[in-house]
Structure 1
């Protein structure tokens, strides 16, 4: 006869039988309380949710402050480009205008991963918007320094004479 066939195993226990005693029939060990275990599970899950909310809030603030780094870099690049109209300065100025505009169009998508009922993302959104508006203002200022903004009536009407440039110079030594 083959081994294990036809003979019941002497030390095997069938745990699927209903005749085995249930775990409720045995008393809990000393110091063990099922209610405190359930309460501990609730506390742990609450702590995990609070930690996740704190992480989301921190990441939302990091994303909101990211345009500041771009603002400093763009300001330096504009300064290095100078105030003459040439390809590099126009490219830098276009980039300085385009980046904040595209960032402002996608504010909702940027902060979508951080939406949560426990996380207030209004303040990070407002900071993000303010920094991008500052970047846009920097680009407009550069357009003005390049002389590409229409700031006088003659820029709009061809029959008017162009604005007179007024230049002031100071310093030096008086010659008496």
Structure 2
């Protein structure tokens, strides 16, 4: 037996005999190919494609909804590294921690626009996205408080209080005779 050729009935299981090549285009199907998949109804195939696309959109929407969590971890680490003293770096980090969630909350509809579909309900993803951004906003407010930039003590409001009424008067230098 020559190398690469198989005798009918004897030989390797997946061997293909190329010695009987005819000029016609009627080639046998490759091993493992099934024509039954081609004969499926087009509506079934299109429905499966739509279901697969809806599942993909839902999965991507969940990824977008959970993306602010990664930002929370990074921002928390950066705030920790900035310390609790008021200087340019800590103010910049705090401003960024406040601005990013606010701008993300303003654009919730635009963020989930590519994933809109009749078969995909995006309410849960939007709520998770909003909740994580609110946590990020709370983290920024907490950092403002640790820096002492929030007016949380009564002494912060002294300038807006009216002056206390005078209870007692004193005078001096005028002799009584």
Secondary structure at the aligned position of 2:94 is classed as helix
- Number of residues of Structure 1 aligned to a counterpart in Structure 2: 124
| Residue of structure 2 equivalent to 1:64 | 65
* Residue 134 (structure 1) aligned with residue 162 (structure 2): no
| SS of 1:157 mapped into structure 2 | helix
TM-score by length of 1: 0.68
Q: CA RMSD in A?
A: 1.6
Q: For residue 32 of structure 1, what is the aligned residue in structure 2?
A: none
The alpha carbon displacement at 1:156 in A equals 2.3
For residue 91 of structure 1, what is the aligned residue in structure 2?
Answer: 92
2: distance between equivalents of 1:38 and 1:116? Answer: 29
User: Where in structure 2 are there 5+ consecutive unaligned residues?
Assistant: 1-37, 162-177
Q: How far off its partner does 1:38 sit?
A: 8.9
- Quote how far apart the aligned CAs of 1:157 are: 3.0
Q: 39-48 vs 131-140, which deviates more?
A: 39-48
The residue correspondences of 1:9-158 to structure 2 (distance < 5 A) are: 40-158=41-159
Secondary structure at the aligned position of 1:65 is classed as helix
Per the alignment, in what secondary structure is the counterpart of residue 158 of structure 2? coil
Measure how far apart 1:106 and its partner are.
0.2
Deviations, residues 113-147 of structure 1 (Å, cap 9, x unaligned)? 11111001000000000000000000000000000
* Distance of 2:40 and 2:80 partners within structure 1: 61
Instruction: Output the CA distance in 2 between the equivalents of 1:155 and 1:46.
Output: 64
Q: CA 1:63–1:157 in 2, change beyond 3 Å: closer, same or farther?
A: same
Stretches of structure 1 lacking an aligned partner (at least 5 in a row): 1-36, 161-176
Distance 1:159-1:52 versus aligned 2 partners, 3 A rule? closer
1:158 to partner: Cα distance: 1.5
Distance 1:120 1:71 in 2: 26
Q: Distance in 1 between matches of 2:74 and 2:95?
A: 14
**How far apart in 2 are the matches of 1:109 and 1:159?**
42
- Provide the secondary structure at the position in 1 that maps to 2:159: coil
Taking structure 2 as the reference length, the TM-score comes to: 0.67
Judged with a 3 Å threshold, the aligned counterparts in structure 2 of structure 1 residues 159 and 67 are, in CA distance, closer, same or farther, namely closer
Q: Corresponding residue for 2:5?
A: none
